[in-house]
Amino acid sequence: MNRLIIISNRVAPVTEGKSQAGGLAVAILEALKRQGGIWFGWNGEIEESAEATEPILKKAGNITYATMPLSRRDHDEYYNGYANATLWPLLHYRLDLASFDAATYEAYRRVNALFAEKVTPLLRDQDLVWVHDYHLMPLGQELRRRGHGQRMGFFLHTPWPSPEILSALPAMVELVESLCAYDLIGFHTRDDLGCFTQCVATSGAGTVEMAEDGASACITAADGHRVEARVFPISIDTTNLEKLAAQAAQSEATQRLRDSLVGRALIVGVDRLDYSKGLPQRFTAFQELLDRYPENLSAVSFLQIAPPSRSDVTEYQQIRRELETMAGHINGHFADFDWVPIRYLNRSFGRRTLAGFYRAAQVGLVTPLRDGMNLVAKEYVAAQDPDDPGVLVLSRFAGAARELEEALQVNPYDTGEVAECLQRALHMPLAERKERHAAMLRHLRTHDITRWREDYVAALAGHP
Ligand code: ADQ
The domain that holds 387 is classified in CATH as 3.40.50.2000
Q: How far is the CA of 269 from the centre of ligand 1 (A)?
A: 12
* pLDDT on residue 19: 45
Which protein residue has the closest C-alpha to ligand 1 atom 32? 23
Q: How far is the CA of 364 from the centre of ligand 1 (A)?
A: 14
Do both 354 and 226 map to the same domain?
no
Strands (E), 271-317: 300-305
Do both 271 and 256 map to the same domain?
yes
Do both 316 and 417 map to the same domain?
yes
Tell me which residues have their CB closer than 6 angstroms to ligand 1.
19, 21-24, 26, 157-158, 234, 270, 272, 305, 307, 348-349, 354, 371-376, 379
Which protein residue has the closest C-alpha to ligand 1 atom 19? 271
Q: How many Cα atoms sit within 13 Å of 440 on the Cβ side?
A: 33
* pLDDT on residue 20: 45
* pLDDT on residue 313: 86
206 touches 190 (CB < 8 A): no
Sign of CA dihedral 425, 428, 430, 431: negative
Instruction: Report the residue among 376, 397, 456 best suited for mutation to probe ligand 1: largest number of ligand atoms under 8 A from its CB.
Output: 376
* pLDDT on residue 17: 46
* pLDDT on residue 25: 72
- pTM comes to 0.96
Which protein residue has the closest C-alpha to ligand 1 atom 22? 348
State the closest ligand 1 atom to the C-alpha of 274, by its place in the atom list counted from 1: 2
Do both 329 and 187 map to the same domain?
no
**Over the chain (464 residues), what is each successive 10-residue block's mean pLDDT?**
93 57 65 89 92 92 95 97 97 97 98 98 96 98 97 98 96 97 98 98 96 97 96 94 96 97 98 97 98 98 95 90 97 98 95 96 98 97 98 98 98 98 98 98 96 93 78
Compute the residue count for the chain. Answer: 464
Q: How far is the CA of 379 from the centre of ligand 1 (A)?
A: 10
Do both 222 and 247 map to the same domain?
no
Do both 454 and 373 map to the same domain?
no
Do both 228 and 277 map to the same domain?
no
Do both 46 and 167 map to the same domain?
yes
DSSP 215: S
Q: Could you tell me whether strands 4-10 and 128-132 are parallel, antiparallel, or unpaired per DSSP bridges?
A: parallel
Which protein residue has the closest C-alpha to ligand 1 atom 9? 23
In whole angstroms, what is the distance from residue 300 CA to residue 452 CA?
37
Q: Could you tell me whether strands 56-60 and 37-46 are parallel, antiparallel, or unpaired per DSSP bridges?
A: unpaired
The set of catalytic residues is: 157, 371
Domain count, the chain: 2
Instruction: Report the residue among 270, 277, 404 best suited for mutation to probe ligand 1: largest number of ligand atoms under 8 A from its CB.
Output: 270
Largest separation between any pair of C-alpha atoms in the chain = 70
Do both 295 and 164 map to the same domain?
no
Q: Could you tell me whether strands 206-210 and 216-221 are parallel, antiparallel, or unpaired per DSSP bridges?
A: antiparallel
State the closest ligand 1 atom to the C-alpha of 379, by its place in the atom list counted from 1: 16
Q: What is the domain range of residue 39?
A: 4-235+449-460
Do both 265 and 373 map to the same domain?
yes
Do both 251 and 399 map to the same domain?
yes
Do both 230 and 248 map to the same domain?
no
In whole angstroms, what is the distance from residue 260 CA to residue 339 CA?
10
In whole angstroms, what is the distance from residue 245 CA to residue 457 CA?
29
Phi, psi for 120 (deg, rounded to 5): -50, -50
